[in-house]
A and B are shown apart, each in its own frame.
Chain A
Amino acid sequence: ETGVTQTPRHLVMGMTNKKSLKCEQHLGHNAMYWYKQSAKKPLELMFVYSLEERVENNSVPSRFSPECPNSSHLFLHLHTLQPEDSALYLCASSQSSREGNYGYTFGSGTRLTVV
């Protein structure tokens, strides 16, 4: 496989469930990202793993928990979500250096519905 692969493509979960979103990149990139896109809203950066450091958006609730076991895999663990968390969750990767990021490749996203 090539590019950035996200699974599952669609997920419906109850507010008391625990689930995980998975992202895998086969591009040799060294940075990975989670973005959230709610209906008719801009992309919202949630978490960044770059150069083995994690940077997060402080406005992201603790019910979202990222995990990056290596440079090719990224997870987003979900627990006790709210209906307003329903959105398209996008994973991206890039090649990052001290000078900056070189291009993003996005996955197709996971469409999450919280019921």
Chain B
Amino acid sequence: DAKTTQPNSMESNEEEPVHLPCNHSTISGTDYIHWYRQLPSQGPEYVIHGLTSNVNNRMASLAIAEDRKSSTLILHRATLRDAAVYYCLCQGNLIFGKGTKLSVKP
């Protein structure tokens, strides 16, 4: 299973974009990249996933490097409700890392 590496924490101001990076240098060619987030006192929830092309949905955008060894979750306008721990996983990996704790300042 491919291991992922994320910064422990990041800060953002409300209404500003946030770029959350993830390194997955050992990802295999067929593994999708998944992002989840966990709000306080809740279970993780799905955010977005992709394989090679960049992806957009109502929650976020996912930018995947051409060599697929890294990806970036983009929140276009952070809100206070986006404060959470964000996890990056490669498909098939059952192990969650520590994720990135995102703080959003008003």
Chain A residues proximal to chain B, CB less than 8 Å? 4, 33, 35, 42-43, 45, 48, 88, 90, 92, 99-109, 111
Contact = CB atoms under 8 A, between A and B. Distances in A.
Interface of B: 30-32, 34, 36, 41-46, 49, 91-92, 94-99
Contact of A108 (B30, B36, B43, B91): B43
A105 B31 CA distance: 18
A103 B92 CA distance: 9
Given A99-B30, A102-B91, A104-B36, A42 B46 contact: no
Nearest to A42: B98
A106 B38 CA distance: 10
Contacts of B97: 42
Contact of A106 (B34, B44, B92): B44
B45 A106 contact: yes
Given A107-B43, A108-B43, A109-B42, A101 B99 contact: no
A48 to B, nearest CB: 6
Contacts of B92: 99-101
B94 A33 contact: yes
A104 B94 CA distance: 9
Nearest to B42: A108
Contacts of A101: 91-92, 94
A48 B94 contact: yes
Q: What 5 A-B pairs have minimum CB-CB distances, sorted nearest first?
A: A106-B43, A100-B92, A43-B96, A90-B43, A100-B91
Contacts of A42: 96-99
Contacts of B36: 104
